[in-house]
Structure 1
Amino acid sequence: MRGMGTRLANLSRHAAHKAHLTARGIESDNAWITTECVMMNLQFPYAHELRLPCDAEAETLYDWLATVCVEGSGKEIAGYLASDFLRFIYTLDLFRSLGGQGRRAIEFGANPYFMSMLSKEFSNFEWTYSNWFEGQPKRLLCQSVTYRDLSSGRKSGRDFHYFNFNSENGHFPLQDEGYDVVLYCEILEHLTNDPSGALRKIRRLLKPGGHLILTTPNVARFENVVRLLSGENIYDPYSGYGPYGRHNREYTRDELRRLLIYIGFEIEEIFTSDVHPHTYSQKIDPDIIAKITSERSEDLGQYIFVRARKSPIEGQKLPAWLYRSIGIDRVATGDEDRVASLSARLTLQDWQEDSENQSATVLLAAVNGGSREWDFDSLRLGARAFSEGGNLLREFRGQFTRKISPGGTALLRIEMDFSGLPSRWLEIVIDLVNEHCFWFEDVGSSPIRIIREPGD
């Protein structure tokens, strides 16, 4: 087991116990809670060192976040804060020092905005937010949040504008290489079919050297070890919120490290930590299991926390240990098998726009960067126009390719007619398309993305 300093341990226990009491609807002053915490002797045997921002007290931050009220949300967010408060603090510490004037960050899954409130208060970024509420329009939406100001205690409010899209299956209405930091917390475990694709798209959002901050439950947490040895199941229950409402695939610390390195990240920090009291039945003595697992205590915390830097090399295939029943040319034979069989390196050569006729003629160089010859009869240059919310507005088709061997180049032209499309923000995605089969982006390649804003 990992020890903590006395002050940090007391803060952790204090905050978690107060969270427990709050979830049960028990109100009490801080002195009583501190005493009760000691009496209850709550422990976090696999807790990482807790570093609070600006010497703040854990109970002060918890009290402040407990005043957050999100438009359209019920009382369930109080329970979420109660169980995950320390996770928010650990996450904040991973990226707080990366901020600076003009630096941009995006938070995926921002609702109910506890992490967002901490980030705005204790870090220096220009923030963008995203959520995925199925059934709502795929466009820029807004939620209002009320809270008590941390310094003055006055009632305050803030509007959080967010892009509504599915990070696994949806189109990203965001500029490639537009962000210094991406927060992707408690989402990976909910993905249903292609975590590599989601992480690859997230990597493209980052500027060179940008950082991914990712948290996810640890499937190898001590509680799960106890449950399995007790004959209990560790899988998440089915959810009334549908497939994305449950944990579809949790990861070990080593699995997450391997996945991120393959996709194209360098791990700067990765650790597991408990964030709330352990919950399991007493069918088996947990002290016995703690002795058996003492050599791997670093892997037994409830959550995995990662800070990873974008590296120059992207893995375009699918790790064999994570996927099955996939075409053999899509699955990586090993951690170094990174280039997709069908991979195109596209370079913009010329863009001629006719504002009077609302059209553009584009010339691109397409290099066969994969290991397979391009010999499809229907392979050609294509483009798609998306709205700011990620809705597909129009498709375009350009020249067909000739037969091109690996390393070969084709110059391809495409003409795009924008007449009738909204004059506001548009994203143009240019890629190779095997007609009626797939876009190269779908098999691991990177398209060219161009944002057209009013006045362009």
Structure 2
Amino acid sequence: MQPPPVSERDPGSLERYLLSFRWPFRNEEVHRILVQGGLPLWRQVLRFVPNPKERGKALELGSPPFHITLLLQRFRNYDLFLTGYAADGRPELRQQLESPEFGETYEFVCTCFNAEADTFPYPDNTFDLVTWCEVIEHLTENPVHTLAEIHRVLKPGGALVISTPNASRADSIANFLAGRNIYDPYHLGAPLKGSRHSREYTLAELTGLLEGCGYTIERAADIDIYPPASRNRRIFRWLMNNVVSRITKGHYRYHLFVRARKTEAPFRWYFPSSLFDMGHLAFYMAPRDPEVTFGINEVPHIAMGWGDLQRDPSGREYRRSGQVGDIYLLVREPSTAATVTLAGGRGEAQAWHDNGGNLVLLGATRFDAPPGRWTDVTIPLSADFEPGNPLHIRLDTEAGVDVHRVTTT
């Protein structure tokens, strides 16, 4: 007997298809609620996912419970690489799903890592597509790290598809005006224990973050994926979407969907003040690169005391240090010198290692750089340099100095 037809345009057939899958210890009621509640969202995700003529590679960030996985596998032309997060630290998750009605059996294997902190276990320029659906709102600290890793593993021209609830959705505004709490409730029990929303986004915040990091927005929309709960809510939604939005230029529909592309432009570590507290950001330091270009990746590599980002007449970006300016690099290869491109200051450029609390001076060079004239100051590194140990560049100046770049050779 032939299995029933399934079409991505027919929600009834999609629901029947997804509900047909079985796995050990499946809770029928929970599964039914997940599918019926999630299907309007998953159908919109499919509409944002391009379908290539030639077989592509796709990375799905946050694959369990595999409903989007099943739909991508059936309706899009990609080899899927699945990921998850295991609180107990296990390196992978395995789940077998079987649909007797449709004659399909799968064993899904998820590679587990912390997408907010870890380096993704994939080479550069690997994937044609990355999906990041219903995840960004759960991050607690740093979506920029995740976007940097997505950018690294995407091929040039590759697509990133994001879905997330809209922080400014009309239903939340209605709850707020009625004196009700708009925040996500605690998730105490399985399967979503501890996964409440940490930070939701408006459409402008989400697209602004992506563009600031170097992506190009190909398509972005706010969409009401669920019907209003009452007649009053229907009227309120209409007013917000058709009257208020014309005045404020805001977006008030329930959910956000974005498709962005990686271009040839480098990734920029962009931390907008609308999302990050600038006072706390001054304490953030997580060196990961062997070179720093201001305006591109300096934020995780510099300590406190630097001025705002500026641009000279030629378009070169820079910051001015305080009397002391500290920059940290992570150099994994043997190196014999560090070079600082600077202007408008005099003093000494130093290179240091911290060997278990013992500071080791690797080299130092005096400089006197005229204002507006970029000068390369090279610091020889002694044999005490250790690859993989963060390299601390300190600029000890009379009254600060403009810095554009730091490299190692």
Give the TM-score, by structure 2 length: 0.69
Distance 1:78 1:333, change over 3 A: farther
Query: Structure 1 counterpart of 2:124, which letter?
Result: D
How far did residue 219 of structure 1 move?
1.0
3-state SS, counterpart of residue 49 of structure 2: helix
CA deviations on 1:306-340 (whole Å, 9 max, x unpaired) are: 10001313222422221112218849968999979
**Structure 1 residue corresponding to 2:195, chosen from 232, 245, 258:** 245
Partner of 1:200: 148
Distance 1:412 1:118, change over 3 A: farther
Give matches, 1:22-101, under 5 Å.
56-71=9-24, 74-75=27-28, 76-97=30-51, 99-101=52-54
Partner of 1:104: 57
Give matches, 1:335-374, under 5 Å.
342=327
Partner of 1:159: 107
Partner of 1:124: 77
How far did residue 363 of structure 1 move?
6.0
**Equivalent pair of 1:272/1:304 in contact (CA under 8 Å):** yes
Counterpart CA distance in 1 for 2:153 and 2:34 is 28
How far did residue 141 of structure 1 move?
3.6
Partner of 1:321: 274
Query: Structure 2 counterpart of 1:105, which letter?
Result: A
CA deviations on 1:4-40 (whole Å, 9 max, x unpaired) are: xxxxxxxxxxxxxxxxxxxxxxxxxxxxxxxxxxxxx
How far did residue 300 of structure 1 move?
2.1
CA deviations on 1:351-395 (whole Å, 9 max, x unpaired) are: xxxxxxxxxx85698665899999454259x9xxxxxxxxxxxxx
**Equivalent pair of 1:191/1:244 in contact (CA under 8 Å):** no
% of aligned pairs identical?
23
Counterpart CA distance in 2 for 1:338 and 1:195 is 27
Query: Structure 2 counterpart of 1:322, which letter?
Result: L
How far did residue 345 of structure 1 move?
10
Distance 1:406 1:133, change over 3 A: farther
Give the TM-score, by structure 1 length: 0.62
| Residue 159 of structure 2 is aligned to residue 211 of structure 1 | yes
| Residue 113 of structure 2 is aligned to residue 113 of structure 1 | no
3-state SS, counterpart of residue 176 of structure 2: helix
Partner of 1:378: 352
| Residue 181 of structure 2 is aligned to residue 233 of structure 1 | yes
Query: Structure 1 counterpart of 2:253, which letter?
Result: G
CA deviations on 1:120-175 (whole Å, 9 max, x unpaired) are: 111111211100121141x2442212225xxxx44421011111111112332222
How far did residue 211 of structure 1 move?
1.1
**Structure 2 residue corresponding to 1:433, chosen from 390, 403, 406:** 390
Counterpart CA distance in 2 for 1:133 and 1:344 is 30
Counterpart CA distance in 2 for 1:414 and 1:93 is 57
3-state SS, counterpart of residue 299 of structure 1: coil
| Residue 252 of structure 2 is aligned to residue 300 of structure 1 | yes
Distance 1:257 1:65, change over 3 A: same
Query: Structure 1 counterpart of 2:390, which letter?
Result: V
Aligned residues: CA RMSD: 4.3
How far did residue 64 of structure 1 move?
0.3
**Equivalent pair of 1:319/1:335 in contact (CA under 8 Å):** no
Distance 1:80 1:194, change over 3 A: same
Counterpart CA distance in 1 for 2:310 and 2:45 is 28
3-state SS, counterpart of residue 300 of structure 1: coil
**Equivalent pair of 1:362/1:414 in contact (CA under 8 Å):** no
Question: How many matched pairs?
Answer: 338
Counterpart CA distance in 2 for 1:317 and 1:269 is 21
Distance 1:401 1:147, change over 3 A: farther
Partner of 1:28: none
Counterpart CA distance in 2 for 1:335 and 1:203 is 25
Counterpart CA distance in 1 for 2:66 and 2:254 is 22
3-state SS, counterpart of residue 227 of structure 2: coil
Counterpart CA distance in 2 for 1:406 and 1:343 is 20
Counterpart CA distance in 1 for 2:213 and 2:256 is 18
Q: Which moved more, 1:67-76 or 1:113-122?
A: 67-76
Query: Structure 1 counterpart of 2:239, which letter?
Result: K
Distance 1:74 1:223, change over 3 A: same
3-state SS, counterpart of residue 50 of structure 2: helix
**Equivalent pair of 1:379/1:401 in contact (CA under 8 Å):** no
Q: Which moved more, 1:74-83 or 1:362-371?
A: 362-371
CA deviations on 1:105-124 (whole Å, 9 max, x unpaired) are: 10010011111111111111
How far did residue 431 of structure 1 move?
6.1
**Equivalent pair of 1:344/1:370 in contact (CA under 8 Å):** no
Greater helix share, structure number: 1
Distance 1:124 1:168, change over 3 A: same
